[in-house]
A and B are shown apart, each in its own frame.
Chain A
Amino acid sequence: MLLIPCPWCGPRDETEFHYGGQAHVAYPGNPAALSDEEWARYLFFRDNPKGAFAERWNHSAGCRRWFNAVRDTADNEIRAVYRTGEPRPVTA
Chain B
Amino acid sequence: MSRLDATSRIDRGTDLRFTFDGKDYLGHPGDTLASALLANGVHQVATSIRFGRPRGIMAAGVEDANALVQVEAPFSEPMLTATTIELYDGLVARGLSGQGRLAAEPDPARYDAIHAHCDVLVVGAGPSGLVAALTAARSGARVVLVDDQPEAGGSLLGSAEQLDGVPATTWVSATVAELAASPEVRVLQRTTAFGYYDDGFVLALEKRTDHLGAAAPAGVSRQRVWRIRAKQVVIATGAHERPVIFADNDRPGIMLASAARTYLHRYAVLAGREVVVFTTNDSAYAAATDLADAGAEVTVVDARPEISPYWAAECARRGIAVRPATVVIGTSGNGRVTSAHVVTAVDGSSGPRQGIGCDLLLVSGGWNPAVHLYSQARGTLRYDAKLGAFVPASELLDVRAAGSARGAFTLAACLAEGRLAAQDALTALGIAPGDVPLPGTPEQPEEVPGHVLWSVPDHREDNAPCSSFVDLQRDATVADVLRATGSGMTSVEHVKRYTTIGTAHDQGKTSGVITSGIVADALGVDIASLGTTTFRPPYTSVSFAALAGRDRGQIFDPVRVTAIHPWHVKHGALFENVGQWKRPWYYPQRDASGSFEDLETAVLRECRAAREGVALMDASTLGKINVQGADAGEFLDRLYTNIMSTLKPGFIRYGVMCGMDGMILDDGTVTRVSETEFLLTTTTGNAAKILEWMEEFAQTEWPELRVSLTSVTEHWVTVPLVGPRSREVLASLAPDLDVSNEGFGFMTWRDAEVAGIPARICRISFSGELAYEINVSAWDGLALWETVIEHGTPYGITPYGTEAMHVLRAEKGYPIIGQDTDGTVTPQDLGMSWVVSKKKVDFIGKRSHARAENNRPDRKQLVGLLPVDPTKLLAEGAQLLASADVPEPPVPMLGHVTSSYRSAALNRTFALALVRAGRDRLGETLYAWQDGELLAVTVADSVLYDKEGARRDG
Contacts and interface: CB of A to CB of B under 8 A. Distances in A.
Interface of A: 1-3, 13-14, 18, 20, 27-28, 30-32, 34, 36, 39-40, 43, 56, 58, 60, 64-66, 75-76, 84-85
Given A3-B198, A3-B200, A58-B692, A32 B847 contact: yes
B847 A20 contact: no
A60 B198 contact: no
A64 B841 CA distance: 30
Contact of B700 (A56, A64, A75): A56
Contacts of A60: 692
A30 B378 CA distance: 45
Contact of B201 (A1, A18, A27, A28): A1
Nearest to B695: A64
Contacts of A58: 692, 695-696
Interface string B815-855: 00000000000000000000000000110001110111000
B905 interface: no
Contacts of A30: 842
A60 B699 CA distance: 13
Given A43-B661, A76-B198, A34 B701 contact: no
A25 to B, nearest CB: 10
Given A32-B842, A66-B700, A84-B703, 19 more contacts: A2-B199, A3-B229, A13-B201, A13-B229, A14-B198, A28-B847, A31-B847, A32-B841, A32-B846, A32-B847, A36-B852, A39-B847, A39-B851, A58-B692, A64-B695, A66-B699, A75-B378, A76-B198, A85-B703
B660 interface: yes
Top 3 closest pairs, chain A to chain B, by CB? A31-B847, A3-B199, A66-B699
Contacts of B199: 1-3
B197 interface: yes
A18 B331 CA distance: 59
A43 B695 contact: no
A75 B378 CA distance: 8
Contacts of B661: 43
21 contacts: A1-B199, A2-B199, A3-B198, A13-B201, A27-B701, A28-B847, A32-B841, A32-B842, A32-B847, A36-B852, A39-B851, A40-B851, A43-B660, A58-B696, A64-B695, A65-B699, A66-B695, A66-B696, A66-B699, A66-B700, A84-B700
A31 B846 contact: yes
A81 B411 CA distance: 45
Nearest to A84: B700
Contacts of B229: 3, 13
The listed residue with most A CB atoms (<10 A of its CB), out of B199, B229, B660, B696, is B199
A27 to B, nearest CB: 5
B197 A1 contact: yes
A63 to B, nearest CB: 11
Contact of B699 (A36, A40, A84): A84
Contacts of A32: 841-842, 846-847, 850
Interface residues of B, number: 24
Interface centre among B198, B378, B848 (most CB of A within 10 A): B198
A47 B924 CA distance: 48
Interface of B: 197-201, 229, 378, 660-661, 692, 695-696, 699-701, 703, 841-842, 846-848, 850-852
B750 to A, nearest CB: 34
A18 B695 CA distance: 13
Contacts of B696: 20, 58, 66
Contacts of A75: 378
Nearest to B709: A64
A71 to B, nearest CB: 11
B716 to A, nearest CB: 21
A18 B699 CA distance: 15
A68 to B, nearest CB: 9
Given A58-B692, A84-B700, A43 B200 contact: no
B848 A43 contact: yes
A34 B848 CA distance: 11
B553 to A, nearest CB: 22
Contacts of B846: 31-32
Given A56-B700, A66-B700, A2 B198 contact: yes
A76 B660 CA distance: 29
A28 B846 CA distance: 12
Contact of B848 (A1, A13, A39, A76): A39
A55 B699 CA distance: 15
Looking at A36, A60, A75, which has the most chain B CB atoms within 10 Å of its CB?
A: A36
A28 B199 CA distance: 37
A15 to B, nearest CB: 10
Contacts of A3: 198-201, 229
Nearest to B704: A85
A82 B848 CA distance: 31
Nearest to B701: A27
B418 to A, nearest CB: 26
A14 B197 CA distance: 11
Nearest to A23: B700
A85 B703 CA distance: 9
B927 to A, nearest CB: 36
A30 to B, nearest CB: 8
Contacts of B660: 43
A37 to B, nearest CB: 10
B548 to A, nearest CB: 16
Nearest to A38: B847
B700 A36 contact: no
